[in-house]
């Protein structure tokens, strides 16, 4: 049973460019959350997707957008890249049952995509 | 608002030494508290959790007790091993208060255990 998979593992971009990161959730999971982890910091919540819609959002600008597909996989898009966007981007998946809030105890993280903006 | 303050590292210990990593939190309600571990090149893994005051979470010899009076959730292990070398993150979720289930993380503490 594959866990959460993210691609690519590493990426180098220049300022002003756009980037797309991808995530496949753990089998059986339907909810995907994205986190940004700057060097030496803890992960910060970007947003969460369920049923192909953004359900929650952290304190990130509109340059950060996402998408969820019918197979539950997800993309994170960042436009107009800044040097400060350099970070490890983590995807986490979980199960949301009906209208119940997903239990964080069952949150599974991928290994992340390391984005470097030059 | 919600925040987590974690003991700064790095921490270097000899094998079989006692470990304490301090964590205190600020939350608007009654959060659930977590410790996550990140081994080199791997994703975050849940180490243990506690969902209400006085609960003790435990796993793999690690323990942490939810202390509401001191707003703390310190991580302890009686005898560390080289394989425990990793970065440890304290985190909280305030879903019962806010309805949102995202995690707030501390800055992480890097632990290195030497033989």
d(CA A68, CA B16): 46
State chain A's mean pLDDT as an integer: 91
Listed in sequence order, the DSSP H helices in chain B are 95-98
Helix then strand then coil, in percent of chain B rounded to 5, is: 5, 50, 45
**Quick one: pLDDT at residue A52?**
93
Q: Is the pLDDT of residue A104 over 80?
A: no
pLDDT of residue A107: 84
Q: What is the pLDDT of residues B17-37, one digit of tens each?
A: 999 999 999 987 778 899 999
**Residue B55 structure tokens:** 């609960």
Contacts of B45 in chain A (CB under 8 A): 109
Closest residue in B to A88 (Cα–Cα): B43
By the CB < 8 Å criterion, does B66 face chain A?
Answer: no
pLDDT given at position A98? 53
The beta-carbon neighbor of A109 closest among B41, B43, B49 is B43
Q: Do A105 and B46 touch (CB under 8 A)?
A: yes
CA angle B37, B41, B46 (to 5 degrees): 20
Residue whose structure tokens are 């390391």: A114
Q: What is the 3-state secondary structure (H, E, C) of A51-69?
A: CCEEEEECCCCCCEEEEEC
Which residue in B32, B46, B107 is closest to A40 by CB distance? B107
Contact: A42, B32; criterion CB under 8 Å = no
Confidence of residue A101 (pLDDT cuts 50, 70, 90): low
Q: Which residues of A touch B93 (CB under 8 A)?
A: 104
> Closest Cα to residue B1, out of B32, B27, B25?
B27
Q: What is the pLDDT of residue A2?
A: 72
Give the C-alpha separation, A13 to A31, whole Å: 28
Backbone angles phi, psi at A83, to 5 degrees: -55, -35
**B72 CB-side CA count, 13 A:** 12
Q: Which of A102, A104, A112 sits opposite B32 (nearest CB)?
A: A104
Confidence of residue B98 (pLDDT cuts 50, 70, 90): low
pLDDT tens digits, residue range A38-94?
998 999 999 999 999 998 899 999 999 999 999 999 999 999 999 999 999 999 998
Within 98-117 of A, beta carbons closer than 8 Å to B belong to 101-105, 107-112
**B74 vs B31: CA distance, rounded Å:** 15
């Amino acid at each position: 049973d594959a866990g959460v998979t993210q691609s690519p593992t590493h990426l180098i971009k220049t300022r002003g460019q756009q980037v797309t990161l991808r995530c496949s959730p753990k089998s059986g999971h339907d909810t995907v959350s994205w986190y940004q982890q700057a060097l030496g910091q803890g992960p910060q919540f970007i947003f969460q997707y369920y049923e192909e819609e953004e359900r929650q959002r952290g304190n990130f600008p509109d340059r950060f957008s996402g998408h969820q597909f019918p197979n539950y996989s997800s993309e994170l898009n960042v436009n107009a890249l800044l040097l400060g966007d350099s970070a490890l981007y983590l995807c986490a998946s979980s199960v949301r049952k009906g209208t119940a809030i997903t239990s964080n105890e069952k949150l599974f993280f991928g290994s992340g995509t390391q984005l470097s903006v030059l | 608002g919600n925040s987590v303050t974690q003991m700064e590292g790095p921490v270097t210990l000899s094998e079989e030494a006692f470990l304490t990593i301090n964590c205190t939190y600020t939350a608007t309600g009654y959060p659930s508290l977590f410790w996550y571990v990140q081994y080199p090149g791997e994703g975050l893994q849940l180490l243990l959790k506690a969902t209400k005051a006085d609960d003790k979470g435990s796993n793999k010899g690690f323990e942490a007790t939810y202390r509401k009076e001191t707003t703390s959730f310190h991580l302890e292990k009686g005898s560390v091993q080289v394989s425990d070398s990793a970065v440890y993150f304290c985190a909280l979720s305030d879903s019962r208060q806010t309805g949102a289930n995202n995690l707030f993380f501390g800055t992480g503490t890097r632990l290195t255990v030497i033989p």
